[in-house]
Amino acid sequence: MTWRFVIEGRPVSQKNAKKIGVNRKTGKRFPLSRKNVLDYKGAAILQLRSQWNQMHGYGSREPITRYLEASGIVFQGGGQAIDLGNSLEAVFDSLEKAKIIKNDYQIAAYGRWRRLRDPDRPRIEITLTPMERVHE
C-alpha cells in the first residue's frame, strides 16, 4: 500500500527560518521558528489530516509505524528557488504533527524527488511507500 498526499501552498525552507527567542522568566535563549514556517506547517497539518480522514474514514486512525520511503514533486511558485532538502523538513515534521506517521525518523529512504515550477499552483505532492526491511 502507498499513501499519496498533496500539500497546497508555497513550500518554505525550515533550515534558515529560525530566530533567537528569549524566555521571559529565565532569560535563556532558544531557537524560534519564523511565522511563515509556522503558518505553512499549520496549513499543511490541516490538509494532511483531511486527506488522511478521507482515506480512512473519520475517527481514531492510528499513525503509520513502519519505515517508509518518501518520494514526490515540489512545485515551487514564482520567485526565488528554495533548497529541495530544506523544504522537505517542514513536510516531514507536518506528517508527524498531523499523526500520519509516528515519528519523522521513519522516513528511512528518499526515493525520486523533483523540483518544478508552477507559479499558479505551488504545492508538494508526496508518496509514502512502506519498506520491507531497513538495515540498521
Q: What span, in angstroms and rounded, lies between the C-alpha atoms of 44 and 11?
A: 10
Question: Which pLDDT belongs to residue 22?
Answer: 74
User: What is the pLDDT, as a whole number, of residue 82?
Assistant: 75
Alpha helices in the chain (DSSP H): 35-56, 84-97
What are 4-57's pLDDT values in tens digits? 999 999 888 766 555 666 778 888 876 656 778 888 899 999 999 999 999 877
Q: pTM of the predicted model, to two decimals?
A: 0.81
Judge whether 13 and 83 are in contact, CB under 8 Å: yes
Percent of the chain at pLDDT exceeding 70: 85
Question: H or E stretch including 33?
Answer: strand 29-33
Q: For the purposes of burial, counting CB atoms within 10 Å of the CB of 14, is it exposed (0-12), middle (13-18) or buried (19 or more)?
A: buried
Cell triple for residue 57? 474514514
Instruction: Tell me how crowded residue 35 is: count the other CB atoms within 10 A of its CB.
Output: 10
Of residues 59 and 119, the one with the higher pLDDT is: 119
Check residue 87 and give its pLDDT: 81
If you average pLDDT over residues 96-111, what whole number do you get?
Answer: 94
Cα distance between the two ends of the chain: 23
Residue 26 is given by DSSP the state T
- Span 3-130: which CATH code? 3.30.1330.70
pLDDT digits (tens, 9 = 90+) for 46-95: 999 999 999 877 666 889 999 999 999 999 887 777 778 878 888 999 99
pLDDT given for residue 78 in this prediction:
78
Q: What is the pLDDT of residue 60?
A: 62
Closest CA to 45 of 85, 5, 105: 5
Cα 63 to Cα 98: distance, rounded to the nearest angstrom: 9
**For the chain, what are the domain ranges?**
3-130
